[in-house]
Amino acid sequence: MMSPGTTDVAQPARGAPTTRTTDPALANRTIHFLGIGGCGLSGLARMLAEQGATCTGSDGVPTDLTAALQAEGISISVEQSAESLPANCDLVIASAAISPDHPQRLAAHQRNIPVLSYAEALGKVQALRTGVSIAGTHGKSTTAAMLCHVLVQCGLDPSFIVGADCPQIGGGSRTGAATIPGDGPYSGGPGILVAEACEFDRSFHHHRPVIALINNVEEDHLDIYHNLEAIVQAFAEFARLLPAATQGGRLLIAHDGAHRDAIADNLRCAVETFGYSPDADYHLKFEPAESRVALRAAGDAVVCRWSNRAMPGAHNALNSAAAAVLAHYFGAQWNDIAAALSSFQGVNRRMQRLGTRRIAHGGQVIVYDDYGHHPTEIEATLLALRETERPARLICVFQPHQHSRTRFLLEDFARSFSSADVVIVPHIYFVRDSEVEKHKVRAADLVDRLRTRGVTAMHLYPFDAIVEHLDVMCRDGDLVVIMGAGPVWQVARDFLNNV
């Protein structure tokens, strides 16, 4: 591993700085986005619209995000029929959630209109920027948002597409400077573009980063990969996309929990590690009682300290440390990085403290909302909430996301709720899986596993019934956290407002 601050990592060899920031194949086109309501696709649509493309979109469910896009001049329809594909469309970009037999996708093929996946289109945009890809099984949105906040606060003016809304940085997307300001090692090169690199269906192999983070690597998306070995191999292929160190290529990878020996072996780029191990190139220490993080570089004295109060927990300390190191790569000063991280206010649906709710029989309850839908995320979040808030009881409403994920990781899910006193499980959110898969596992299966481990658990549906049950069961001093990647967030809002 290269030591921090090494000088043989050069600015990317891309010729003279350019103001062209979008692939000509995407600029000045009439582009229709399938699934435009997602954070990634909506951010890309905004970015391409600012670069001169005429953008339209469709999504089955209108949201605040689609309303915001319409207010910005992007025409959006909930109509999904083949006939509703705009007549003047000459390119379609589709979300990963869009099935091959989607009517508008089929219509595009019939009309010989090219169809790109979101990841393919993002790679084309990234190739003309100084791309930063944030990869890992967990923490991508949080780490990307933290990094973007630091870069903005340090005057590095990044573009970004983050998979969650972060009001502090203006939402989930932004178009920044065409060239990198300042006097850091990459200054004067094409502007920074930060984006999450999702491993689902190997979509991150379409990225074209100069710098990448691999935060952690665990079993997930087993409907695609079948085993952990295949997942590790996919991350190794992703790492090999980085350019040589002499062209500015850098990989920051977790010292533990990311299979770094298999992934980072014989790469052309510079490689550094971070983590709690003293052997890591960047070694951090976390004080949970104070939510304080201290970072050392190559065993030297502490170079940076910050508060992590808005995003507590050991896992978020790691996320923030990764953001700190990546920002430093671009020339941000440690003192400025520390100040920016200490001022970070969090990301929507990532350990988001919504507020407190008065209950009818006296007292109040704290309400959190969280996107966690993998066992490791659940365990880390519940532990952090118990350590930070110290509630009388921790009540978790968890909606499993995907039947295949629930089935493959059922025992891991059952183990992940050890910090909860009560777990309420609605129906599994059905997405991407086949009808056959849908019948292989039920929410009641998870409830049964939890009960055998001594956790009070129940299956309740619909969401209104969960809100009613929370009204009855909650006592003064309880903490209620709503978790899941599906529409379960509605329970948090309804419970909080049902006074």
Does residue 5 carry a pLDDT above 60?
no
Q: Measuring CA to CA, how many Å separate 386 from each of 121, 148, 182, 315, 380?
A: 41, 28, 42, 14, 10
Q: Which structure tokens are listed for 304?
A: 């940076």
Does residue 270 carry a pLDDT above 50?
yes
Query: pLDDT tens digits for 303-318?
Result: 999 999 888 899 999 9
% of the chain surpassing 70 pLDDT: 95
Task: Over range 180-206, report the average pLDDT.
Answer: 94
Predicted local confidence at residue 22, as pLDDT? 61
Predicted local confidence at residue 23, as pLDDT? 65
Predicted local confidence at residue 14, as pLDDT? 39
Task: Over range 403-432, report the average pLDDT.
Answer: 92
Query: pLDDT tens digits for 316-360?
Result: 999 999 999 999 999 999 999 999 999 999 898 888 999 999 988
Task: Over range 151-164, report the average pLDDT.
Answer: 94
Task: Over range 215-227, report the average pLDDT.
Answer: 90
Query: pLDDT tens digits for 279-303?
Result: 999 999 999 888 899 999 976 789 9
Query: pLDDT tens digits for 234-258?
Result: 999 999 999 999 999 999 999 999 9
Angle formed by the axes of helices 140-153 and 314-329, nearest 10°: 40
Predicted local confidence at residue 62, as pLDDT? 84
pLDDT band at 151 (very low <50, low <70, confident <90, very high): very high
CATH numbers and ranges of domains, the chain: 30-117 (3.40.50.720), 128-342 (3.40.1190.10), 352-497 (3.90.190.20)
- Report angle CA 354, 356, 360 to the nearest 5 degrees: 135
292-297 vs 282-287, strand pairing mode: antiparallel
> Which of these, 275, 443, 475, 265, lies nearest to 364 by C-alpha position?
475
Separation CA 102–CA 81 (nearest Å)? 8
Q: Which structure tokens are listed for 105?
A: 């996708």
| First-to-final CA distance of the chain | 56
Does residue 260 carry a pLDDT above 60?
yes
The runs of H, that is alpha helices, within 283-423 are 314-329, 334-342, 375-389, 403-408, 410-415
